[in-house]
Amino acid sequence: MDRMDTALREFFADTAAPRGLARRLVGRLAGGPPTLAALAGRFRIEATDRGVLRLYPGRGVAAASARAQRHAAQAQEELGEYLAGRRAFFFVAVDLAGVAPFQARVLAEARRIPFGETESYAELARRIGRPRAARAVGNALGANPVPIIVPCHRVIRGDGSWGHYAFGGRMKTQLLALERATPALVGCTSTRIVCRRGCAHEQRVAEPNRVVFASVPDARSVGYRPCRVCRPDAAA
Amino acid sequence: MDEATFTRHAEAYAGRLYAVAYRLLGNRADAEDAVQRALLKAFAARASYAPRWAVSTWLYRVLSNVCIDELRRRRPPPEPLPTGDARRAPRVEPVDLARALDRVPREARLLLALHYVNGLSYRELAKIRGISVNTVKSQLARGKAILRKALGD
């Protein structure tokens, strides 16, 4: 027991919970968070051989070939898992071949914003080397052909307000809240492997064996290794 | 675990969970939000609770998961190590300690909070994070070494 121990013990000792906290929190348990899972079937997905071409409110899929159909089916499944809070990334390919070069760069950069985080239009403009083009970035994101999969909802205004969203501000709020409540990296205590949320291996981890990590280096520092299937160490 | 039992345990532990969350996240609103989310998650998963576990271990794990994911979204503090008068201070001031704790890697910070807020044993810490007891010891030692350096001890 040294000075540091004493200091730490004193420092950590003096936090009293606000009065009535327990009763207040327990009272809210029955309600549960609002769920987005019901939305899963309400999108129409258009796909080509290269990947998902468009995603918009509606129903069903439009895919000419068997390969395109596989892309559409994969997108549907991943969307359902994402909206149910069981997935933090999309594996499915997107077809951005018909998109203008500037918009393609904006969308590619938007895909690099990590799950659960947000960035401003101005920051994104700076990252693509066009610091004065914040408004153009907003327009490019507004015309995003594959919302959710390309996460334009993670881009918000510099003052912290939402800005425009194709599916409405409420949906943007719900998506960001969902991402806040969903962990991105999950480790399994029996295998000591860390996966991205949504990986086939992660989905098999039993509930009591789940631990969440903030980053792959964090997980490594306590003896976990990254999964070789979903490659959390290679992800942006 | 039925609803009434869960509620009883939640009421018993809410204060202690809050203390850990407050020390990790640094403000009351985020701490309360984290405890709320942890309790909601635990409540939803109460069917999978294994009785061979202590309820506290389970609740601490769920809370740790929520707090760690919250810390993931925060950028690391950019300011350099404080130097100078900290060396001469007769005792460690809470403000300095709070700032120094920000420099400790997340995993070690979590273990420090759990260990010192609630006096959890190494074995319990190992179980909560799914790591070995030796890793717990080395993480705590590393965390304390970083604190000492930051405080000029």
- For chain A, the three-class secondary structure string (H helix, E strand, C coil) is CCHHHHHHHHHHHCCCCCCCHHHHHHHCCCCCCCCCHHHHHHEEEEECCCCEEEEEECCCEEECCHHHHHHHHHHHHHHHHHHCCCCCCCCCCECCCCCCHHHHHHHHHHCCCCCCCCEEHHHHHHHCCCCCCHHHHHHHHHCCCCECCECHHHEECCCCCCCCCCCCHHHHHHHHHHHHHCCCEEEECCCCEEEECCCHHHHCCCHHHEEEECCHHHHHHCCCEECCCCCCCCCC
Query: Do A4 and B153 count as a contact with CB atoms less than 8 A apart?
Result: yes
Calculate the average pLDDT of chain A: 89
| Chain B interface disruption, residue of A6, A8, A14, A190, most B CBs within 10 A | A8
Q: Give the closest-approach CA distance of A20 to chain B in angstroms.
A: 10
Residue of chain A nearest B62, judged by CA positions: A211
Q: Are A140 and A148 in contact (CB under 8 A)?
A: no
Residues A111 and A153 in one domain: yes
Q: What would the pLDDT profile of B47-57 be if each residue is shown by its tens digit?
A: 888 787 889 99
What is d(CA B140, CA B153) in angstroms, rounded to the nearest whole number? 17
Calculate the average pLDDT of chain B: 86
Which one is predicted more confidently, A26 or B54?
A: B54
Query: Do B73 and A117 count as a contact with CB atoms less than 8 A apart?
Result: yes
Residues A174 and A190 in one domain: no
Is the residue at A49 inside a domain?
yes
Q: What would the pLDDT profile of A130-176 be if each residue is shown by its tens digit?
A: 999 999 999 999 999 999 999 999 999 988 888 888 888 888 999 99
Residue of chain A nearest B33, judged by CA positions: A25
Q: At B86, is the pLDDT very low, low, confident or very high (cuts 50, 70, 90)? A: very low
Residue of chain B nearest A183, judged by CA positions: B69
Note if A152 is an active site residue: yes
- What are the tokens at B30? 């985020």
Residue A195 belongs to domain spanning: 185-226
Is the residue at A21 inside a domain?
no
Query: Do A221 and B139 count as a contact with CB atoms less than 8 A apart?
Result: yes
Residues A107 and A176 in one domain: yes
For residue B98, list chain A residues with Cβ-Cβ distance below 8 A.
11
Which one is predicted more confidently, B3 or A210?
A: A210
Q: Give the closest-approach CA distance of A161 to chain B in angstroms.
A: 18
Domains and CATH numbers, chain B: 1-74 (1.10.1740.10), 82-153 (1.10.10.10)
Number of domains making up chain A: 3
Q: Are A80 and A37 in contact (CB under 8 A)?
A: yes
